[in-house]
Structure 1
């Protein structure tokens, strides 16, 4: 019985989050940067960025010290429609020929309750840098079957297209875009 108690205690210690730097797991397809915008106010148009990388620091004992850096290859935009993607990459929208990369660098992390937090940072998109706030939920963390340690988060934010120099008229219902972020990192 004593051995069982020691084993359970050790297992619980191993399952707690670790203060560490994590590389975002884009190779294993465990991270997604998606967007959605209303189409004429009648439905949602969804898309994603297929190529991005980054890292984050997280410590469950001092979450306010958390930080995130992400680089997005904006040319990897994919809305599941080649002609629309070509238009979204054009100067009307993302102007990827001139601005092929977007970045996010955090400036703060405010823990709330129940694994929720507010992540603030600077988003650079289309050559414009603006502050944004991302609502974050800690999904969980722990050992993986390959001997590594992982930590996962989900987040969402919304911003006006015009804030980043996109003034193409999509109608009054389509002035803001929502970003949906699901990130799993592997401890470095």
Structure 2
């Protein structure tokens, strides 16, 4: 029987980015600066791995302080009451040579729903210190309203301020644990 290998996210070489349409004509990007995650796998190709991820909502950064404070407020994430966004996988299946489908439960505020994300395995390598690292790019899209992020601003001209679909990109480097 295979032994499970645990991998822990290396925050120095990882990023969590999101994009949302603004006024339907342009895109606003943002990052979460504080997060942690782990991946546990019994196989070298990561098939069937379990993945857990937690993001600190207060670490949101859209390069505009006033907007960040609004996103942390009860209009959106309500970070004071719900400080973390959480993901726990239910399946990690191979979809191609270096491609996977990651399905799991995403919790934002007090709403938990299943989502499926695309994962591209970038490979593994040893760093200067002999640590084995594995890289993944995770992409997907969620509808913010399904998770209770229902604030809707409308301009005087009738344009919607923030789109409903949120594009997510996570570039994650995991370090193999001894």
Q: CA deviation at 1:143?
A: 1.3
CA distance in structure 2 between the aligned counterparts of 1:20 and 1:75, rounded to whole angstroms:
31
Partner of 2:26 in structure 1?
43
- The answer to which structure has the higher helix fraction is 1
CA distance in structure 2 between the aligned counterparts of 1:175 and 1:54, rounded to whole angstroms:
26
Aligned residues: 169
Partner of 2:157 in structure 1?
none
Q: CA deviation at 1:175?
A: 1.1
- For normalisation by structure 1, the TM-score amounts to 0.85
Partner of 2:144 in structure 1?
161
CA distance in structure 1 between the aligned counterparts of 2:77 and 2:94, rounded to whole angstroms:
32
Aligned pair partner of 2:9 in 24, 28, 44: 24
Q: CA deviation at 1:144?
A: 1.3
- For normalisation by structure 2, the TM-score amounts to 0.89
CA distance in structure 2 between the aligned counterparts of 1:53 and 1:172, rounded to whole angstroms:
31
CA distance in structure 2 between the aligned counterparts of 1:61 and 1:97, rounded to whole angstroms:
40
Tell me the secondary structure at the aligned position of residue 65 of structure 1: coil
Partner of 1:136 in structure 2?
119
Is there any run of 5+ residues in structure 2 with no aligned partner, and where?
Answer: 154-159
Greater Rg, structure 1 or structure 2?
1
Matches within 5 A, 1:24-103: 24-26=9-11, 29-58=12-41, 61=44, 63-103=46-86
Q: CA deviation at 1:39?
A: 0.6
Deviates more, 1:172-181 or 1:143-152: 172-181
RMSD: 1.8
CA distance in structure 2 between the aligned counterparts of 1:22 and 1:61, rounded to whole angstroms:
12
Contact 2:91 2:102 in 1 (8 A): yes
Partner of 2:109 in structure 1?
126
Is there any run of 5+ residues in structure 1 with no aligned partner, and where?
Answer: 1-18
Q: CA deviation at 1:60?
A: 5.2
**1:111–1:172 Cα change, 3 Å:** farther
Tell me the secondary structure at the aligned position of residue 51 of structure 2: strand
Q: CA deviation at 1:25?
A: 0.2
CA distance in structure 2 between the aligned counterparts of 1:63 and 1:115, rounded to whole angstroms:
10
CA distance in structure 2 between the aligned counterparts of 1:105 and 1:128, rounded to whole angstroms:
13
Tell me the secondary structure at the aligned position of residue 83 of structure 1: helix
Q: CA deviation at 1:113?
A: 1.1
